[in-house]
Amino acid sequence: MSVSVRVPAKINLALRVGERRADGYHELSTVFQAVGLYDTLTAARAPALTASVSGEGCALVPTGEGNLALRAARLLQVRTGVREGAELHVAKAIPVAGGLAGGSADAAAALVACDALWQTGLVREDLLALAAELGSDVPFAVHGGTALGTGRGCQLTEVLARGRYYWVLVLAERGLATPEVFALHDDLAPRPRADVEAVLAALRSGDPAALGRALGNDLQAAALRLRPELDRVLSAGVEAGALGVVVSGSGPTVAMLAASGPAAVRLAAEVAGCGWARAVRTAEAPVAGARLVTMPG
């Protein structure tokens, strides 16, 4: 018996970074959006917990106890007193260390999959609380859609978001380490700039042009310092007619907003032709969070 869960990547439409807290995390105010680029996790009945990974960047993902999906399943097992294990397999399409919360997505998928496989009967709030223990972006990967994240990023509030959005995701050759980007951000000490209110207003009115203008990320300066070539990527998006361009999360993925599905395909073709992007994907948003695609039994 096995179950499969499909889980999306996220981008940050606005990412405002506040004070560094005593626990080392930063106070955030961020608008998450789940985009249609998915990892798929399968969990099969097994006596022990194991994990394997295939697909996009899989060589960079540990399969031992450092694997985030395995850690999520282990946490669920311990907290619910389940005695059986599970054989987890992650088929990756979300790039590793790309600022798209791929590892968090896998942790969220493992929680949802093992909850179904083991029939733990946890309610959504319990799953979200476990998710928050696993990482700042894990609750949103369970939640999906478009949401405001505060605190470490784990406290989620539903936001009114009208309309569909068409994104082009420009993937880089090498990832960036999130702690390194936050640390450089602290050294640079830029003033908070991302305009969360403007993003929320654009989403309320369902106006892609206004959303394009409002996109902003306080970590972008640090990501650009670590990866100067991102500047060319951002400019290429603007020149190719994107409604807005922004580095996603801690980068280095760049998200470009297009006016329609066909416009996204044209934008993707144009920025892919410039030569520096490792890969370019189009993705619609918002989409649901981690969901079962095959049922147990």
Does residue 121 belong to the site contacting ligand C5P (CB under 6 A)?
no
CB of 294 to ligand C5P, least distance (A): 28
Identity of residue 149? G
List, in order, residues 6 or more apart from 164 with CB less than 8 Å away. Answer: 284, 285, 286
Cα pseudo-dihedral 56, 59, 65, 70, rounded to 10: 20
Does residue 178 belong to the site contacting ligand C5P (CB under 6 A)?
yes
Does residue 136 belong to the site contacting ligand C5P (CB under 6 A)?
yes
Tell me: cis bond preceding 286? Omega within 30 of 0 counts: yes
CB of 87 to ligand C5P, least distance (A): 25
Q: What is the DSSP letter of 227?
A: -
The neighbouring-strand residues paired with 144 are 288
How many chain residues bind ligand C5P (CB under 6 A)?
A: 11
Identity of residue 11? I
Does residue 98 belong to the site contacting ligand C5P (CB under 6 A)?
no
CB of 102 to ligand C5P, least distance (A): 11
Cα pseudo-dihedral 132, 133, 137, 139, rounded to 10: -30
**Site stretch for ligand C5P (CB under 6 A), options 1-9, 89-97, 174-182, 260-268:** 174-182
- The whole-angstrom separation of Cα 226 and Cα 189 is 15
List the one residue from 99, 139, 153, 175 that touches ligand C5P (CB under 6 A).
153
Does residue 12 belong to the site contacting ligand C5P (CB under 6 A)?
no
CB of 100 to ligand C5P, least distance (A): 12
**Site stretch for ligand C5P (CB under 6 A), options 52-60, 133-141, 208-216, 224-232:** 133-141
Q: Which residues from 219-258 bind ligand C5P, rule CB under 6 A?
A: none
**Site stretch for ligand C5P (CB under 6 A), options 118-126, 135-143, 205-213, 215-223:** 135-143
| Pair 127, 140: CB distance under 8 Å | no
- The whole-angstrom separation of Cα 248 and Cα 216 is 9
- The whole-angstrom separation of Cα 205 and Cα 195 is 16
Nearer residue to ligand C5P within complex by CB, 56 or 137: 137
Nearer residue to ligand C5P within complex by CB, 68 or 242: 68
The secondary structure of 141-168, three-state, reads: HHHECEEEEEECCCEEEECCCCCCEEEE
Nearer residue to ligand C5P within complex by CB, 3 or 69: 69
Nearer residue to ligand C5P within complex by CB, 3 or 156: 156
List the one residue from 26, 92, 227, 281 that touches ligand C5P (CB under 6 A).
26
- The whole-angstrom separation of Cα 5 and Cα 291 is 5
Residues that bind ligand C5P (CB under 6 A): 25-26, 28, 135-137, 152-153, 178-179, 182
